[in-house]
Amino acid sequence: HSALDSTQLHDRKATKVDGNSYAVDKWTNTPPHILSHINRHIYLQPNHPLDLTRRLIESQFPGPVYGNYSEPFPIVTTEQNFDVLGFPSDHPGRSRSDTYYLNEKTVLRTHTSAHQADYFRRMSSNENQEEGYTVVADVYRRDAIDRSHYPVFHQMEGARLWKRHEGMSAAESAAQILKDFEKLPAHGVEVEDPNPVTHPERNPLQSQFHSQEEVEAVAAHLKRSLENVVVKIFIEASKATSNAMKAGEEQLQEPLKIRWVEAYFPFTSPSWELEVFWQGDWLEVLGCGVIKQELLNNSGVPDRVGWAFGLGLERIAMLLFNIPDIRLFWSADPRFINQFREGKIVRFQPFSKYPGCYKDVAFWLQSATASGTGASAAGGAMPFHDNDMMEIVRDCAGDMAEDVKLVDEFVHPKTGRKSLCYRINYRSLKHTVTNEEANEVHEKVRKSLVELIGVELR
């Protein structure tokens, strides 16, 4: 579904990563600059803000109930990333415009859920008596370019299962889960949660397998556990903020606002997302839900029910440290890294932002025919996806692109051709981008658009 063809980025026959070789085929769309992130492991680097965030959240999911893990190698099969999780074959997440493929059967994982089935299977052997886990890993997505999106980011996934012992009724199973719910500390923060736990169309009960009361118990435990994570983050962030204040300065701390919204994932039902009000807007921090029973049945634990969640570590770290730009996490600049070297939660002190500059690029997309029939003819244009633009900019500009926005779009009334105009904000975290430098990179972007997509520049 993408106009950006793999063979244009890869003239090699295979991609080599850590001694493994992946044959290139027509699905391949992973450029070298993306592969170069694989061995960075910044979430394991001592005192990196992602490492501190990871540890803080892990402390909310302690042993012996939970084991805390990481999965440093990001290449998985399409089966792990999609099939076993029940992604339908036409799910947009599978498309080459959203996902980095090594080849038809191999991807850079797009979420930590790619490991769910493996972890459940591990729990089935029950060597360590753990009833839940967290796992942190780098994940990869072809996505927008802006201050809260980066093609490589980190997720923490977590799950908690309860065994339904032989002969246990649904009511007894619910009671067992509620007993654990009651052990969770109460946080006292008001949470917006207007929807019923299940909804027949939007958020159905898996009625073949679960009772309503059982799912309500699982949901209560899930929601309280995750609210406690956000409250903990908020308390730590507030402490860091007041420590940063000079004596006598008034602290204008906004009260914490969180809300639950209904969501959809192929591998949970019912499902929700948790949002936090931050800098004037609702920020989605995680997705979660009651695990599909088929998945548990297929993963060696048919006798258990439970919940799973997946959260964006950068999103939480941005709240925790007040870090304004997601690119900073990849920075080796001592002005960034040294702020966290004590291993404490501190409020990030922004260092001077270098000026940047905007450049626009406008172009006509390939048309099927010049005659203006509108419909695409033989050999007609491939659809152009926003993410193709993002990929070209990432390839030419690297981290020098702060954001990329579509600013104009129209269809010529006579020829039926489509024109697009993108605005690229070139701004480096390391130095002032001169006009000449921006022009040079921008020229590369323009050339790539012509060579790789076949556009006509305007």
Min separation Cβ 228 and ligand FA5, Å: 17
Q: Would you say 209 or 264 has its CB closer to Mg ion?
A: 264
Residues that bind ligand FA5 (CB under 6 A): 111, 113, 141, 143, 149-150, 153, 155, 157, 265, 268, 284-289, 308-312, 314-315
Q: Would you say 67 or 438 has its CB closer to ligand FA5?
A: 67
Min separation Cβ 452 and ligand FA5, Å: 23
Per-residue DSSP letter, 351 = P
Q: Which residues contact 6 (CB under 8 A, 6 or more apart)?
A: 24, 25, 26, 27, 28, 29, 101
Residues 252-291 that bind Mg ion (CB under 5 A): 287
The DSSP string of 409-451 is: EEE-TTT--EEEEEEEEE--SSSPPPHHHHHHHHHHHHHHIII
Min separation Cβ 73 and ligand FA5, Å: 18
Q: Distance between CA 22 and CA 173 in Å, rounded? A: 46
The torsion angle over the Cα atoms of residues 206, 211, 215 and 216, rounded to 10 degrees, is 140
- The residue whose Cβ lies closest to Mg ion is 287
Do the Cβ atoms of 227 and 186 come closer than 8 Å?
no
Q: Is 344 helix (H, G, I), strand (E, B) or coil?
A: coil
- Residue 289 interacts, among ligand FA5, Mg ion, none and using kind-specific CB cut-offs from 5 to 8 Å, with ligand FA5
Min separation Cβ 286 and ligand FA5, Å: 5
Contact track, Mg ion, 393-422, x by CB under 5 A? ------------------------------
CA of residue 26 relative to chain centroid, distance: 25
Give the Cβ contact number of residue 211 at 10 Å: 16
Min separation Cβ 229 and ligand FA5, Å: 12
- Residue 294 interacts, among ligand FA5, Mg ion, none and using kind-specific CB cut-offs from 5 to 8 Å, with none
Do the Cβ atoms of 434 and 356 come closer than 8 Å?
no
Do the Cβ atoms of 408 and 421 come closer than 8 Å?
yes
- Residue 339 interacts, among Mg ion, ligand FA5, none and using kind-specific CB cut-offs from 5 to 8 Å, with none
- Residue 118 interacts, among Mg ion, ligand FA5, none and using kind-specific CB cut-offs from 5 to 8 Å, with none
Per-residue DSSP letter, 307 = E
- Residue 111 interacts, among Mg ion, ligand FA5, none and using kind-specific CB cut-offs from 5 to 8 Å, with ligand FA5
Min separation Cβ 175 and Mg ion, Å: 32
Q: Would you say 4 or 286 has its CB closer to ligand FA5?
A: 286
Q: Would you say 221 or 315 has its CB closer to ligand FA5?
A: 315
Min separation Cβ 273 and ligand FA5, Å: 6
Q: Would you say 66 or 307 has its CB closer to Mg ion?
A: 307
Q: CA of 186: how far to CAs of 221, 225, 277, in Å?
A: 11, 10, 20
Min separation Cβ 254 and ligand FA5, Å: 20
Size of site (CB under 5 A) for Mg ion:
1
Calculate ∠ Cα 306-307-312, nearest 5°: 160
Q: Would you say 286 or 445 has its CB closer to ligand FA5?
A: 286
Do the Cβ atoms of 364 and 418 come closer than 8 Å?
yes
CA of residue 284 relative to chain centroid, distance: 10
Q: CA of 115: how far to CAs of 72, 421, 425, in Å?
A: 12, 40, 36
Residues 21-50 that bind Mg ion (CB under 5 A): none
Q: Would you say 49 or 287 has its CB closer to Mg ion?
A: 287
Q: Would you say 274 or 361 has its CB closer to ligand FA5?
A: 274
Where does this chain bind Mg ion (CB under 5 A)? 287
